[in-house]
Each structure stands twice: as structure tokens, then as C-alpha cells.
């Protein structure tokens, strides 16, 4: 058995982070002894089947320090004389001067509790996400004089200041990131670019078996057979749902389509109001957040997957959304935007269609073209299915991580 590693997560379990659950389960199967620590309690009642297959039991740090002051106080009392405490405190105080926020204070309190409660046999700390979880992991690692590493994804990179990214990159043992776009940016910030490694998430295709066939005949001409559009993504600005609705409103009125939008999120009420104003409400199903099996069933009954990704005002953006790979694995044509790393998956006019972000006219034009042309959808879907299987098998990334964690690679 491997040396135990503590995985620090922002929240667990989460329906929107199946790629993390997939990684944890696969690394457990490689023999990695993972201990899960979450900064937040789950907020969703549903969970994916894969969460029930994971052996590691999550432990929860104080979500807000005022709710559990005794845990924080006991941790501080037990750790304040440790040799590494002064180093961790000095790093935190330097960070706090540049980021004088309650969140920054909370990170140090959570790190104290983590360092206090971490079992003695854990000799490595790994954070998923380079912002809050990496801060907690870094402070705790210094207190305990342990190495730490990180997996960086999207929001955590693009909403963090460069000074913080640089210092974390110079402090961690190594960092894995899930797109070439991310890797290029982070490598340029690191004093040692070799610490940054590209590790695509990929898909476990045993869980995403393609359907034998796919409904391809609908072309928007028949009212009783509308073309079925699907979008899977949280209702947040970077997913571009508002622009998607605007584009839908620009389609010819006699074109027959319907949309199922899967995902929860803070912007749902605003989006529903927008759909009502645009006269689209009777064509849209707001499915909310769903477990993976239910999402798969919806992919298989749809004709076209659409994700209108964009760069939000705070810099947040998608990396390489797993939902695009999932849709392609189900013989589903995809229409998306040329943002961030999406072009690493979708080759325009070959394995999907890409338009510029924040261009509702271009999106509407491509939507109309794909709705009325089932043969084009079929061609794109078949090419995408072949490419996602050949280049985005999750086992490649798991083998890379297993080597980093010094465990056996995933068996075939």
C-alpha cells in the first residue's frame, strides 16, 4: 500500500466535479491511500453513483471559523510551538497584507485544523484547485514540514492574482493542470516550468458507452418532431447561457426546436425571466442539477449539444469542459465557442463547430445550420466520437498522476 496522501477539496461531493471523483476512484484502484478533507459541506441532495464507489470517507474542516471556534483554538494551541508554525504564519501574514479578506483569515484557520487533525501516517498533501484549497494545503504543509502538490483547473487559475500563482508554483512539489492552454500560462509564471505538467482529465469510457445509434433525422421542419438541443452547465456567467438564449431568439420563428438546460446555479431565476421576455419559455426545460446517469440519458435523446462558454467579468472561464467530452462520447454533435482550451478538443468543422465568444449572431447562424442539417450533425458526431476515444482516455492522465504519487499505474 502507498503512503497516505491527504486530498484537499473545496467541497465534496459535488455533482459538477465528476472529473475529481473519477480521478480519486481510479487512484484508489492503483493503490493510493487517499484521505479526503473538504472545506465545505455538500449543498446538493443528489450524488453520482461513482461517489458511492470511493472508499475514502470525507472529513470536513470548519466551513466558517466562528461556527467552530473551539476546533480552531485547540489546533492553534497544539501547533503554535511547532518549528513549521512560524514559517506558515509568516507566509499567511504576507498573503494577508496583499489580500486583507475574511476568506484569507478563514484559510489559515482551516489549515490549522487540518494540520492538527491530520493522522501521523499522512506524509503528503494534495490540493484540488489552486486558489483556496491550495492555500489551506500550503499553510498546513509548512506547519507539518510536508511536501504538497496541486491540480489546477479553471476558475482557480484565472481569478487568482499572478503574485499568488507565482509563489504557490515555486512552493509546491509539482502541479498538474488539465489543458495545454493552462499549462502554457502557468509554466510562464513558474521559476521552474518543469513543475507544471499537462494532465488531461479524459473520460472513463466504461461509464460512457456510446449508443448503437442516435436520432439524426430531425431537421426542424416538423412541429411534432423538434430538434432537441441540450446544454449541461451551471447557471454562472462563464457558461454564457444568457447569450445562448439571445441567439435562440434570433432563429427563424418557423424552425422547430426545444432545449433542455441541465444544471443549477445562482443565475437561474434571471435566465428564466429572460426566456419569458424572449418568448422562449414553452420551448425550454429547466432540468436543474442531475446525477450522471440521468445526464447520460438526456445526451442520448438529444440531437445537438450547445455550450456558449465565455470569459466572465472577473476573468473566470472554462478550461476544457468535461461535458463536451461526455456529449461527444454519446455520438452527439457539439457547438461551442473558441474560448480557453475548447479548441484542444473540438477541431472546427471536423469534430464540432466553434464560434467566437459573445457573438450571438454567429451562434444563431451556426445553430440554424446544424438544426436544419442532420447529415452535418451526424458527420461531426462520428468524427468527434473517434477522436475523443483516441486522445482523451482518462487512463493516460491517471497513469501520469500515479507515477507522481509513486503508485502502480492503472491496469487495463
- With residues binned 3-state (H G I as helix, E B as strand, rest as coil), the percentages for the chain, rounded to 5, are 45, 15, 40
> What pLDDT, on a 0 to 100 scale, did the predictor assign at position 402?
95
Give the C-alpha distances (Å, rounded to integers) separating 213 from 96, 284, 301, 303.
Answer: 56, 25, 10, 12
Angle, in degrees to the nearest 10, between helices 69-79 and 102-117: 60
Q: pTM for the whole thing? A: 0.90
Residue 216 — pLDDT band, cuts 50, 70, 90? low
> What pLDDT, on a 0 to 100 scale, did the predictor assign at position 3?
86
State pLDDT tens for residues 331-367: 999 999 999 999 999 999 999 999 999 999 999 999 9
C-alpha count within 13 angstroms, C-beta hemisphere, residue 214: 30
State pLDDT tens for residues 116-155: 999 999 999 999 999 999 999 999 999 999 999 999 999 9
State pLDDT tens for residues 33-49: 999 999 999 888 888 88
- Give me the chain's average pLDDT, please: 95
Residue 194 — pLDDT band, cuts 50, 70, 90? very high
Residue 212 — pLDDT band, cuts 50, 70, 90? confident
Percent of the chain surpassing pLDDT 90: 92
Hey, how many other C-beta atoms are within 10 angstroms of the C-beta on 263?
22
Residue 381 — pLDDT band, cuts 50, 70, 90? very high
For 5-202+393-404, CATH number out of 1.20.210.10, 3.60.150.10, 3.40.50.2000, 3.30.1330.90 equals 3.40.50.2000
Residue 113 — pLDDT band, cuts 50, 70, 90? very high
pLDDT exceeds cutoff 70 at 410: no
CATH class as words, domain 227-391: alpha beta
Residue 173 per-residue DSSP state: S
Q: Where are the domains of the chain?
A: 5-202+393-404, 227-391
- Residue bearing cell 451551471: 234
> What pLDDT, on a 0 to 100 scale, did the predictor assign at position 2?
74
Residue 11 per-residue DSSP state: S
pLDDT exceeds cutoff 50 at 411: no
Domain 5-202+393-404 and domain 227-391 have a common topology:
yes
Amino acid at each position: 500500500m502507498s503512503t497516505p496522501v491527504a486530498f484537499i477539496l473545496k467541497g465534496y461531493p459535488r455533482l459538477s466535479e465528476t472529473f475529481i471523483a473519477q480521478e480519486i476512484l481510479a487512484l484508489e484502484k492503483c493503490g493510493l491511500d487517499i484521505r479526503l478533507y473538504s472545506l465545505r459541506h455538500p449543498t446538493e441532495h443528489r450524488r453520482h453513483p461513482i461517489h458511492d464507489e470511493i472508499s475514502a470517507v470525507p472529513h470536513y474542516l470548519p466551513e466558517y471559523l466562528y461556527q467552530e471556534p473551539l476546533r480552531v483554538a485547540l489546533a492553534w494551541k497544539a501547533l503554535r510551538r511547532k518549528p513549521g508554525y512560524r514559517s506558515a504564519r509568516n507566509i499567511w501574514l504576507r498573503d494577508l497584507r496583499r489580500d486583507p479578506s475574511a476568506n484569507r483569515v478563514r484559510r489559515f484557520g482551516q489549515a490549522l485544523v487540518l494540520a492538527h487533525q491530520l493522522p501521523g501516517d499522512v506524509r503528503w498533501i494534495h490540493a484540488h484547485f489552486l486558489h483556496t484549497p491550495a492555500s489551506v494545503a500550503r499553510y498546513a504543509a509548512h506547519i507539518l514540514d510536508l511536501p504538497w502538490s496541486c491540480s489546477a483547473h479553471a476558475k482557480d487559475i484565472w481569478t487568482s492574482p499572478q503574485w499568488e500563482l507565482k509563489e504557490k508554483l515555486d512552493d509546491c512539489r509539482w502541479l498538474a493542470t488539465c489543458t495545454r492552454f493552462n499549462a502554457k500560462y502557468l509554466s510562464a509564471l513558474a521559476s521552474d516550468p518543469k513543475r507544471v505538467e499537462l494532465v488531461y482529465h479524459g473520460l472513463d469510457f466504461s461509464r460512457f458507452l456510446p449508443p448503437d445509434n442516435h436520432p439524426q433525422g430531425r431537421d426542424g421542419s416538423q412541429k411534432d418532431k423538434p430538434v432537441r438541443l441540450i446544454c449541461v452547465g451551471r447557471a454562472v456567467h462563464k457558461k454564457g447561457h444568457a447569450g445562448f438564449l439571445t441567439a435562440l431568439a434570433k432563429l427563424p420563428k418557423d424552425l422547430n426546436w426545444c432545449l433542455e438546460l441541465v444544471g443549477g446555479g445562482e443565475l437561474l431565476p434571471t435566465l428564466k425571466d429572460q426566456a419569458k421576455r424572449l418568448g422562449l419559455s414553452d420551448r425550454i426545460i429547466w432540468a436543474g442539477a442531475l446525477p450522471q446517469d440521468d445526464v447520460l440519458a438526456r445526451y442520448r435523446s438529444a440531437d445537438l449539444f450547445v455550450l456558449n462558454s465565455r470569459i466572465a467579468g472577473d476573468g473566470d472561464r472554462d478550461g476544457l469542459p468535461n461535458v463536451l467530452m461526455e456529449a461527444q462520447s454519446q455520438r452527439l454533435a457539439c457547438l461551442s465557442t473558441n474560448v480557453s482550451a475548447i479548441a484542444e478538443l473540438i477541431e472546427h468543422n471536423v469534430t464540432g463547430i466553434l464560434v467566437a465568444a459573445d457573438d450571438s449572431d454567429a451562434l444563431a447562424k451556426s445553430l440554424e445550420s446544424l438544426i436544419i442539417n442532420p447529415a452535418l450533425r451526424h458527420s461531426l458526431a462520428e468524427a468527434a466520437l473517434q477522436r475523443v476515444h483516441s486522445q482523451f482516455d482518462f487512463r493516460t492522465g491517471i497513469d501520469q498522476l500515479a507515477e507522481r504519487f509513486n503508485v502502480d499505474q492503472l491496469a487495463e
